[in-house]
Amino acid sequence: MNHSRWNILPPAPPEFLAQAAGKSALLAQVLYNRGLRDPAQFELFINGDERLSADPMLLPDMEKTISRLYRALLSGEKIAVYGDFDVDGVTSTALMVQGLTSLGGIVIPYIPHRITEGHGLREGALDELHQQGINLIVTVDCGITDVEEARHAAKLGMTLIITDHHVTPPVLPTAYAIVNPKLPRSKYPFIELSGVGVAYKVMQALMNSLGKEDQMEAHMDLVALGTVADMVPLVGENRYLVKRGIRTLNQNSRLGIREIINKAGLSTGNLDAESITWCLSPWLNASGRLEHAIASYKLLTTQSGEEARELATMLGQQNVERQRLTSKAMTEARAQIAIQGLTPLIMLVNREFPLGIAGPVAGKLSEEYYRPVVIVNIDEKTASGSSRSIPEFNIIEAFNQCSGLLGRFGGHAQAAGFTMPAKNIHLLKNALIELAAAQLKEVDLRPRLNIDAEVSLSQLVPETYQMLQTLSPFGKANPVPTFVSRGVRVTSCRTMGSEAQHLRLKLKQDGTPFDAVAFKLGEAAKDMAESLDIVYNLELDRWSGIENLRLNIQSFNPSPFLDKQ
């Protein structure tokens, strides 16, 4: 039942709680767990307003970038916005194209094909754009590692402006300007912007310079979509951008998003970061995983209701197919792991893994086995891989240490991808496993469940839930508050779902009853104890127009304590 390490976070010092007088002790503890050490910071964190937003001109090369874009707009120069095929890349492309077009720019999007081209700039694509009369290329969510491709652009006489947020390599590409908060020379106070966040700051600076800053409000939904989907920390400026963007999503969704909302059974007005993570993002990612992400771009930018309906229907069908392929690949991956044994880093090589779902499969396996996972699709000459990692192992740093074996690679500490000569694949596998074995030698390789506080069920009332919701949007670095309660009596337990994968429970502690669900824990029903220690989130269950608090159980253990009431 308990396959996780329960880690109850340290209690806030008494002097901290004393300074937080006027705030609930539980809320103060959760904020302390989020890294706030001064109660004076509470109000800014909770409000998440524009005070968290920094001056875009502090980003490196921003002045040069704005000047060059303004010159292109004045002269009628053709501009290409070169993006990526994930949600962050597609929303970045849509924002930059729509923003520049609204200023009279002649702008075309270019999004590479995941399978035939891969991530980042490609010489063939640059040649194609050059033949179309493009002399100015602005990258979004890509370009920071494309040294050779930048040289090729220069040979063609093209001006290259790189806007990106990925980790910067030791050798930077030669470009007219590079806007990236992670550059060592950057003076920007917040380095965790998403790709669409950086694109937004570029357009914000340009609009501000023209006295048209109000025009950015229409693009905030794109910023929220890309930022949440890319799983960057939802703290600092990202918190402000996502809060503002979700407000735009709920009040004035663009046609394409409205169609997804309708077809997915969501309701405008109740959208939150979780809606993006579990519904909107998978739909928007589906086209890029199976075919071409240009369909998602068109959905985000169309002004035709009929086209929006057609595209949303197609993306829904592709999302269903993505789920089917992912499920099949997971079965095959588990079988392969059973045969080769469990190593500190799991690397699976297969000609049959669809490249478009390698990342999600790696992510699911990393959660399941709590190890770094690399999924590789291989042919006669080339191998392409996607990886997901755990907090204790920096996968992009590992790739840096193995750079001699790789061709192209890039990404983040916990998610990265690469292409390489197929002949090096076994050398890479051995090297990565060796690195992981050394770094994870003392790590308990079970998922760590951080718990904000131990509470009794009687403490949980509707006002508690509303209070905790002031901390939303939730995501990386600001997870949904998690609690533990001990000695909770099980008064009812039954399975639910098509394959009895989940549990529905009725619980009671000290006379306080609660409904609860436990997703993917259905197998525990046959050995259910009378009393449990439970780890859970508090959520609002909306059913038939009625709202009730319930517990979403993440993990549980038999308890030595038994509630008598």
Q: Taking Cα atoms as reference points, which of 74, 125, 122, 120 lies closest to residue 100?
A: 74
Q: What is the pTM of this model?
A: 0.92
The token pair that represents 182 in the structure block? 């992670």
- For the chain, domains (ranges, CATH) are 52-216 (3.90.1640.30), 342-439 (3.10.310.30), 449-558 (2.40.50.460)
SS3 category, 99: helix
Distances (CA, A) of 18 to 15, 23, 37, 76: 5, 10, 12, 62
Q: What pLDDT sits at residue 541?
A: 84
Separation of alpha carbons 224 and 272, rounded Å? 10
Q: Taking Cα atoms as reference points, which of 193, 162, 11, 171 lies closest to residue 84?
A: 162
The token pair that represents 526 in the structure block? 């046959």
Separation of alpha carbons 37 and 186, rounded Å? 26
pLDDT in tens, the chain (565 residues): 457 889 999 999 999 999 988 889 999 999 999 999 999 999 999 999 999 999 999 999 999 999 999 999 999 999 999 999 999 999 999 999 999 999 999 999 999 998 888 889 999 999 999 999 999 999 999 999 999 999 999 999 999 999 999 999 999 999 999 999 999 999 999 999 999 999 999 999 999 999 998 999 999 999 999 999 999 999 999 999 999 999 999 998 899 999 999 999 888 888 999 999 999 999 999 999 989 999 999 999 999 999 999 999 999 999 999 999 999 999 999 999 999 999 999 999 988 788 889 999 999 999 999 999 999 998 888 899 999 999 999 999 999 999 999 988 888 889 999 999 999 999 999 999 999 999 999 999 988 899 999 999 999 988 999 999 999 999 999 999 999 999 999 999 999 988 889 999 999 999 999 999 999 899 888 889 999 999 999 998 877 667 889 999 999 999 987 766 6
Phi, psi of 205 (to 5 degrees): -65, -40
The token pair that represents 535 in the structure block? 């780890």
Q: Residue 99 half-sphere exposure, CB side, CA atoms within 13 Å?
A: 34
Q: What pLDDT sits at residue 544?
A: 66
Q: What is the DSSP letter of 85?
A: S
Taken in order 528, 532, 533, 539, the sign of the CA dihedral is positive
Side-by-side strand order, sheet with 373-378:
346-350, 373-378, 382-388, 415-421, 408-411
Q: What pLDDT sits at residue 2?
A: 52
Phi, psi of 235 (to 5 degrees): -130, 175
Separation of alpha carbons 26 and 465, rounded Å? 11
DSSP letter for each residue of 468-535:
HHTTPSPBTTBPPP-EEEEEEEEEEEEEESTTS-EEEEEEEETTEEEEEEETT-GGGGGG--SEEEEE
Buried b (16+ CB within 10 A) or exposed e, 231-251: bbbbbbbbbbbbbbbbebbbe
Q: How far apart are the first and last CA of the chain?
A: 25
Q: What pLDDT sits at residue 408?
A: 85
Q: What pLDDT sits at residue 448?
A: 87
Q: What pLDDT sits at residue 565?
A: 60
Q: What pLDDT sits at residue 564?
A: 61
Q: What pLDDT sits at residue 421?
A: 93
